[in-house]
Amino acid sequence: MKTYLVTGGAGFIGSNFVHYMLKRYNDAKIINVDSLTYAGNLENLKSIEGNPNYTFVKANICDKEAMSRIFEKNDIDYVVNFAAESHVDRSISDPEIFVETNVKGTVNLLNVAKEFWQAGEDEYKNGCKFLQVSTDEVYGSLGAEGFFTESTPLCPHSPYSASKASADMLVKAYFDTFKLPINITRCSNNYGPYQFPEKLIPLIINNALHHRDLPIYGDGLNIRDWLYVEDHCKAIDMVIRSGKIGEVYNIGGHNERMNVTIVKTIIEYINENVDKEVDDTLITYVKDRKGHDRRYGIDPEKIKNDLGWYPETSFEVGIKKTINWYLNNKEWIKSVTNGQYKDYYEKMYGIN
């Protein structure tokens, strides 16, 4: 039996990871610690509440006593650190919480893991590992050519990506200085079930279903590299099990699309399959995001060659699954936005 301390497991990727692991392994014990910010929702985990291999603890990763108590009570083998403030727009309007959770929270977890795992000078509990879930955004922005590799210099632009890059450097410092066993994964944009409807894909689906304007920032030609969330979960599992200690692994499936293409793909599917009134006239070009990165593109050769990872869900299949999930889970959207949705978007974009 291996025990995983999953932080941020009530959020989008974290909850998908918890489901993925419990489905895949009978001998994985998951402790999910989450402070339940606006982005964390226990609704995402309802179906596994009674699973004997799953425990939820409501706590903040910045809280040393709370994290220590979890390590005291449980023989933790792996920390998988998803907990973060994750939305770039929020980091532009309110940067400090990003430093608090993403930087200070990570260093707190590193300290607690180091203390409880330490078995001697530069020696740690057999097989333990701290996996930091990072992002391609730490590399900055690409021009028309080339891809991010693991040796691309870090060049973050937003307060969000700067906080994630800081956390990455601290995680690496704990390996370089203390030999704490770590890996860092840097994935491209995820999409799929349980993503909070402030992010592009669920926001567009939800707005389209309500015949609301579909906001596109700037000229809509910015490019993101999209990966179905389950393929990210599979990659993290593989890095935990087989990743070489101290290494960084990029994760992505060479699936680059312009934002406007994403929006039009969603409109087309809804128009053809759900509601004829949803069409391109809903598209509204709005003020650009400050410091908006132009293009992300991951080179995933290392994780493919070294660990045998490959993405299983094509974008064509994944986007349909995602739209259908949101169609079938309208109550979920209502429950997570908790009535704040309308005010938030009116404030952010002047949209009603």
Point out which residues bind ligand DAU (CB under 6 A).
Answer: 86-88, 135-137, 188-189, 199-200, 203, 215-217, 222, 224, 259, 289, 296
Retrieve residue 161's tokens: 């990506």
Specify whether 299 is catalytic. no
Query: Based on CB atoms, which residue is closest to ligand NAD, 84 or 282?
Result: 84
Number of C-beta neighbours around residue 346 at 10 A: 11
Question: Least separation, in Å, of the C-beta of 136 and ligand DAU?
Answer: 5
Residue 267 binding partner per list ligand NAD, ligand DAU, none, with a CB distance cut-off of 5 to 8 Å that depends on partner kind: none
Name which of residues 111 to 140 contact ligand NAD (CB under 6 A).
133, 135
Query: Based on CB atoms, which residue is closest to ligand NAD, 101 or 152?
Result: 101
Residue 13 binds ligand NAD, judged by CB under 6 A: yes
- Catalytic residue, chosen from 78, 160, 191, 249, is 160
Size of the site for ligand NAD (CB under 6 A): 30
Alpha helices in the chain (DSSP H): 12-24, 64-73, 88-93, 96-98, 106-117, 159-178, 200-209, 229-242, 259-273, 301-307, 315-328, 330-337, 341-349
Query: Based on CB atoms, which residue is closest to ligand DAU, 56 or 139?
Result: 139
Nearest by Cα to 202 from 335, 84, 330: 330
Q: How far is CA 209 from CA 190, 278, 282, in A?
A: 21, 8, 11
Query: Based on CB atoms, which residue is closest to ligand DAU, 125 or 172?
Result: 172
Asked if residues 135 and 162 have their Cβ atoms less than 8 Å apart, the reply is: no
- Catalytic residue, chosen from 34, 77, 85, 136, is 136
Query: Based on CB atoms, which residue is closest to ligand DAU, 25 or 217?
Result: 217
Question: Least separation, in Å, of the C-beta of 11 and ligand NAD?
Answer: 2
Residue 83 binds ligand NAD, judged by CB under 6 A: yes
Residue 12 binding partner per list ligand DAU, ligand NAD, none, with a CB distance cut-off of 5 to 8 Å that depends on partner kind: ligand NAD
H, E, C per residue of 132-187: EEEEHHHHCCCCCCCCECCCCCCCCCCHHHHHHHHHHHHHHHHHHHHCCCEEEEEE
Residue 161 binds ligand NAD, judged by CB under 6 A: no
Distance CA 184, CA 133 (A): 6
Q: Per CB under 6 A, which region of 24-32, 120-128, 182-190, 241-249 contacts ligand NAD?
A: 182-190
Question: Least separation, in Å, of the C-beta of 191 and ligand NAD?
Answer: 7
Residues in the chain: 352
B/e letters for 304-341, b = 16+ CB within 10 Å, e = fewer, are beebebebebebeebbeebbebbeeeeebbeebbeeeb
Residue 152 binds ligand NAD, judged by CB under 6 A: no
Cα torsion 160, 191, 251, 28: sign: positive
Specify whether 331 is catalytic. no
Which residues sit opposite 31 in a β-bridge? 5, 55
Show the CA angle centred on residue 9, arms to residues 231 and 304, nearest 5°. 25
Name which of residues 23 to 82 contact ligand NAD (CB under 6 A).
34-37, 39-40, 60-62, 82
Specify whether 137 is catalytic. yes
Residue 36 binding partner per list ligand NAD, ligand DAU, none, with a CB distance cut-off of 5 to 8 Å that depends on partner kind: ligand NAD
Residue at shortest CB range from ligand NAD: 11
- Catalytic residue, chosen from 77, 137, 213, 293, is 137
Retrieve residue 348's tokens: 């952010």
Catalytic positions, please? 136-137, 160
Task: State the residues that interact with ligand NAD by CB under 6 A.
Answer: 7-8, 10-14, 34-37, 39-40, 60-62, 82-86, 101, 105, 133, 135, 164, 187, 189-190, 196
